[in-house]
Amino acid sequence: MQIKVVKNILDASRRIAAENRALFDQHGIYVINLMSSPGAGKTSLVENTIRTLQNDFGIGVIEGDIQDSYDAERIGRLGVPVVQINTGGACHLDGNMIRETFTNFDFAAIDLLIVENVGNLVCPAEFEIGENAKVMLLSTPEGADKPAKYPLMFAESKVLLINKIDLAPYVDFDLDKARRDALAINPDLEIFEISCKTGTGLEQWLEWLRQKIASVKKR
Amino acid sequence: MQIKVVKNILDASRRIAAENRALFDQHGIYVINLMSSPGAGKTSLVENTIRTLQNDFGIGVIEGDIQDSYDAERIGRLGVPVVQINTGGACHLDGNMIRETFTNFDFAAIDLLIVENVGNLVCPAEFEIGENAKVMLLSTPEGADKPAKYPLMFAESKVLLINKIDLAPYVDFDLDKARRDALAINPDLEIFEISCKTGTGLEQWLEWLRQKIASVKKR
């Protein structure tokens, strides 16, 4: 009897992510993997992003949640294709779950794919799903000590959106410390201060995203 | 050659948790396992709890973080014994990590052991560490949809502390929905509305805790 050993399950995960990525590249789709703590405002950001960009670009959305489909219903009202992944307890999305959604999308009509991960500041940062960029939100009520306490998320992200900036005065959020600690972990991190509620700062984020979509645009 | 297979790693984990629990019972120590999203106010709650109860009870604290020891330093300033666990990436505490701290405590002098878990609304709910009660915080800026989206945490907890109640007017927090959805998942859940910043509601939480400590008190 021969016993087969999967030496590194992460290798399989990385291979699937690379395959996803190749497929997205082939179709000229820019893919963001959106991550944050629960309740930091991911779905609100997705809504705001779609409303502004949907006249110019084809947008698709994958919603990741442990259970339920509330977020997909919110996004579906905006008239864009959306697929809900229920992880059934798992604390993050992986490349294989993303691949399972592909039959639901017409990739020829999509320029931007937004993947909203499970709300969790730890586990999602460990997994690639085939994204061009990990984008994270930190909301001001969470506190400015989060970069120092959850460094991997900040290290892996290309963009940090500091959300709920309108609440900063009420929660004693030390913006300088958050910026300084985040950049110490990841000097290349793009940081935007935003409020999905008031609209503050969204223009800069959307301009960054427009440029990225253009950079991979369909020929 | 014989290959040993650990059939269910969770069995080992449960066994260790049960051993921890037996040891706590033997010493008349009440143990809470404190869980929440990042930045919901766990450490502030621990500080408030210690300040009020430390004249009446012996209190010990275990701080769980992926890395760093900021929280343990905050707690240490209050003059209670505290041990920092660094999980080195792991998203939750388990019974074995708790056991590793035991040589640092004089159990004869402790009536209440507070374990502050890693900030994460998903994974910590899956593990027993030998606690008498899982206690969770939900902060109002996270939104009232959290019970429906992260049900296991609400199902496993004995107490739900709705924290940052002072911010509720600024964040459109639907308190009725949060209560209703949480109780639908767990009808026995004790719910207290608190603010660690203003002190609102802390008396009721502390009274609950006093009674629990008394119920297991050293003879």
Rounded to whole angstroms, the Cα distance separating B33 from A86 reads 27
Q: Whats the size of chain A, residue-wise? A: 219
Rounded to whole angstroms, the Cα distance separating A99 from B116 reads 37
Region B40-69 average pLDDT = 97
Name the residue among A178, A50, A61, A67 with its Cα closest to residue B145: A67
Residues B175-193: tens digit of each pLDDT: 999 999 999 999 999 999 9
Find all residues with CB under 8 Å of B142, minimum gap 6, and list them. Answer: A37, A38, A39, A40, B37, B40
Region A208-215 average pLDDT = 97
CB contact under 8 A, B148 and A70: yes
Region A58-62 average pLDDT = 97
Indicate which of A63, A149, A162 best probes the interface with B, i.e. most B CBs within 10 Å of its own CB: A149
Q: Is the pLDDT of residue B53 over 60?
A: yes
Shortest CA gap A146–chain B (Å): 8
Q: Is the pLDDT of residue B219 over 70?
A: no
State which H helix or E strand residue A195 sits in: none
- Smallest Cβ–Cβ distance between B146 and the set A39, A67, A123 belongs to A39
Rounded to whole angstroms, the Cα distance separating A41 from A30 reads 21
Residue A158: per-residue pLDDT: 98
Q: Is the pLDDT of residue A176 over 70?
A: yes
**Degrees to nearest 5, angle at CA B158 with B156 and B160:** 95
CB contact under 8 A, B70 and A123: no
Hey, CA dihedral for A123, A126, A129, A133, is it positive or negative? Answer: positive
Beta-carbon count within 10 A of A174 CB: 14
Q: Is the pLDDT of residue B4 over 90?
A: no
Mean pLDDT of chain A: 94
Report the share of chain B in percent with pLDDT over 90: 91
Give B-chain residues touching A37 at CB under 8 angstroms: 37-39, 119, 121, 142
CB contact under 8 A, B141 and A145: no
Q: Tokens 């082939």 correspond to what residue?
A: A26
Mean pLDDT of chain B: 94
Hey, CA dihedral for A95, A99, A100, A106, is it positive or negative? Answer: positive
Shortest CA gap B51–chain A (Å): 22
| E-state strands within chain B | 30-35, 59-65, 82-86, 112-116, 133-139, 159-163, 190-193
End-to-end CA distance of chain A: 53
- Smallest Cβ–Cβ distance between A66 and the set B40, B139, B150 belongs to B150
**Residue B167 pLDDT grade (very low, low, confident, very high; cuts 50, 70, 90):** very high
**Residue A4 pLDDT grade (very low, low, confident, very high; cuts 50, 70, 90):** low
Region B203-211 average pLDDT = 98
For chain B, list residues whose CB is within 8 angstroms of any CB belonging to chain A: 3, 37-40, 65-68, 70, 89, 91, 118-123, 126, 139, 141-143, 145-146, 148-152, 164, 167, 170-171
Identify the burial level of B71 via C-beta atoms within 10 angstroms of its C-beta, where 0-12 means exposed, 13-18 middle and 19 or more buried: buried
Residues B131-154: tens digit of each pLDDT: 999 999 999 999 999 999 999 999
Residue B136: per-residue pLDDT: 98
Q: Is the pLDDT of residue A167 over 60?
A: yes
What is this structure's pTM?
0.92
Q: Tokens 């992003």 correspond to what residue?
A: A49
Domain boundaries, chain B: 9-215
The residues facing A60 across adjacent strands are A113
CB contact under 8 A, A149 and B89: no
Give B-chain residues touching A89 at CB under 8 angstroms: 126, 152
* SS3 state at B139: strand
- Smallest Cβ–Cβ distance between A120 and the set B40, B122, B145 belongs to B122
B123 phi/psi in degrees, rounded to 5: -65, -40
Residue B217: per-residue pLDDT: 78
CB contact under 8 A, A141 and B145: no
- Token pair, residue B83, equals 């041990």
Q: Is the pLDDT of residue B49 over 90?
A: yes
CB contact under 8 A, A146 and B89: no
CB contact under 8 A, B67 and A149: yes
Buried b (16+ CB within 10 A) or exposed e, B179-211: bebbeebbeebebbbbbbbeebbbeebbebbbe
Residues A70-89: tens digit of each pLDDT: 999 999 999 999 999 999 99
Region A27-52 average pLDDT = 98
Q: Is the pLDDT of residue A140 over 80?
A: yes
Buried b (16+ CB within 10 A) or exposed e, A70-81: ebbebbbeeebb
Please tell me what DSSP assigns to residue A22: H
Rounded to the nearest angstrom, the gap between the alpha carbon of residue A214 and the centroid of all alpha carbons in its chain is 18
Rounded to whole angstroms, the Cα distance separating B58 from B81 reads 9
Rounded to whole angstroms, the Cα distance separating A20 from A14 reads 10
Residue B11: per-residue pLDDT: 75
CA distances from B126 to A15, A137, B122 (A): 29, 25, 8
Q: Is the pLDDT of residue B58 over 70?
A: yes
Q: Is the pLDDT of residue B198 over 80?
A: yes
Does the domain made of A9-215 have the CATH classification 2.60.120.620? no
Q: Residue A43: CA atoms inside 13 Å, Cβ hemisphere, count?
A: 23
**Residue A10 pLDDT grade (very low, low, confident, very high; cuts 50, 70, 90):** low
Shortest CA gap A39–chain B (Å): 4
Rounded to whole angstroms, the Cα distance separating B131 from B6 reads 25
Residue B110: per-residue pLDDT: 97
CB contact under 8 A, B146 and A91: no
Residues B59-111: tens digit of each pLDDT: 999 999 999 999 999 999 999 999 999 999 999 999 999 999 999 999 999 99
Hey, CA dihedral for B208, B210, B213, B214, is it positive or negative? Answer: negative
Q: Is the pLDDT of residue A135 over 80?
A: yes
Instruction: Please count the residue pairs, one from chain A and one from chain B, whose beta carbons lie less than 8 angstroms apart.
Output: 107
